[in-house]
Amino acid sequence: MALESFRKKWGSKYSYAVRSWKDNWEALTTFFDYPVEIRRIIYTTNIIENLNNKIRKYTKGRLSYPTDEACEKSVYLAIIEIEKRWRLPIRNWGLILNQFIAIFYDRILL
């Protein structure tokens, strides 16, 4: 129903997106079969996209760099800062692990 409502409102402007969602609806909605905690992990695991967004966040204040090396150094320092967060523990990992075990009991070896 929500997809149909979206199509009525935005279908003329975003026809390609609506058609793509409609054609792939079964694959797209499997995401919602998982508990919220697992969906949060799945959603945030697009590492390359996430990394690019964070680099843009760190470098958006500079519109130009005096040299290529200055730009490289800025990106390098941004990555160093970003990597610090990668080492943090995942919130509610015990609950999430139990959900993974319940869903994929035959694939997880502890």
> Tokens for 92?
């509610």
Contacts of 31 (CB under 8 A, 6+ apart): 39, 42
User: Can you give the C-alpha Rg of the chain in angstroms?
Assistant: 20
Q: What are phi and psi of 34, to 5 degrees?
A: -90, 155
Q: What is the pLDDT of residue 13?
A: 93
pLDDT by residue, tens only, the chain of 110 residues: 888 898 899 989 999 988 998 899 888 888 888 998 888 887 765 778 888 888 888 888 777 889 989 989 999 998 998 888 888 888 889 999 999 999 998 888 87
User: Count of CB atoms within 10 A of residue 29's CB?
Assistant: 11
